[in-house]
Amino acid sequence: QLQLQESGPGLATPSETLSLSCTVSGGSISSSSYYWGWIRQPPGKGLEWIGSIHYSGTTYYNPSLKSRIAIFVDTSKNRFSLRLSAVTAADTAFYYCARVAYIRSSWTGFDYWGQGTLVTVSP
Amino acid sequence: SYDLTQPPSVSVSPGQTASIPCSGDKLGDKYACWYQQKPGQSPVLVIYQDNKRPSGIPERFSGSNSGNTATLTISGTQAMDESDYYCQAWDSSTVVFGGGTKLTVL
């Protein structure tokens, strides 16, 4: 059974760079059919896609966050990571990692999700 | 940027059919997905590519997508279906989520 687990600090200071990782177990991150994504959700609010990455390094980013984010993959550790720079209180959210299939030139949906990790941005 | 609009709330009586709409410009030309999220839990994919159900999702969940509106339909709604539901679409290779709909079963 595929499992995804987010890790990283639960607290960040305004203006700093937030780093989160997602470790994949029960399957390989290097499968050609899948992309790996980050989605966040401020407490009590809706979902916001941050970006997605393929093991080859191909990335897609949310245009509204593109200037502040970087997503990269480490196939040797079967994990992918997110860096979000210049954080503010507005970046306080649950951060989820998830898998999505891209098959026959069509996207499916995020079918496996991590449990999520709450990141609070506060002085 | 591409936007998806959902009603904040929908109510349904147990055993009846619930329909949750999601609207966006020419949404029918894109693939839509739907997620169920219960309090304190991660979202669960219930419909992908407009009308396909992942393994393990009950048959009472179905989807459609045409024109400017995608719809999640829950037939024979049960109390356990009371959740937040989010639509999601692909705009080229970027992901867009709707604002979410709280389904109340009463």
Q: Which residues in B have their CB inside 8 Å of a CB on A? A: 1, 31, 33, 35, 42-45, 47-49, 52, 54, 86, 88, 90, 93-100
What pLDDT is stored for residue A85 in this prediction? 97
Residue A105 is encoded by which pair of tokens?
A: 């030139």
What pLDDT is stored for residue A65 in this prediction? 97
What pLDDT is stored for residue B43 in this prediction? 98
> Torsion-angle region of residue B24: left (phi > 0), alpha (psi -120 to 50) or beta?
beta
% of chain A surpassing 90 pLDDT: 95
What pLDDT is stored for residue B95 in this prediction? 96
| Contact residues, chain A, for B99 at CB < 8 Å | 46
The answer to whether B97 and B32 have CB atoms below 8 angstroms apart is no
What pLDDT is stored for residue B6 in this prediction? 98
pLDDT for B83-94, tens place per residue?
A: 999 999 998 889
Q: Which of A62, A64, A107 sits opposite B90 (nearest CB)?
A: A107
pLDDT at B96 over 90: yes
In angstroms, the CA A62 to CA A69 distance is 9
What pLDDT is stored for residue A122 in this prediction? 94
Handedness of CA B63, B101, B58, B33 (dihedral sign): positive
In angstroms, the CA A88 to CA B79 distance is 39
pLDDT at A103 over 90: no
Q: Which of B33, B42, B94 sits opposite A109 (nearest CB)?
A: B33
| Contact residues, chain A, for B33 at CB < 8 Å | 108-110
Residue type, B79: A
Average pLDDT of chain B, as a whole number = 97
Listed residue (B57, B56, B74, B100) closest to B14, CA to CA? B74
What pLDDT is stored for residue B82 in this prediction? 98
pLDDT for B6-50, tens place per residue?
A: 999 999 999 999 999 999 999 999 999 999 999 999 999 999 999
pLDDT for B9-19, tens place per residue?
A: 999 999 999 99
Average pLDDT of chain A, as a whole number = 96
| Residue B1 binned pLDDT confidence (cut-offs 50, 70, 90) | confident
What pLDDT is stored for residue A46 in this prediction? 98
The answer to whether B86 and B37 have CB atoms below 8 angstroms apart is yes
Q: 3-class SS at A67? A: helix
pLDDT at A105 over 90: no
Handedness of CA A3, B74, B78, B41 (dihedral sign): positive
pLDDT for A10-62, tens place per residue?
A: 999 999 999 999 999 999 999 999 999 999 999 999 999 999 999 999 999 99
Q: 3-class SS at B27? A: helix
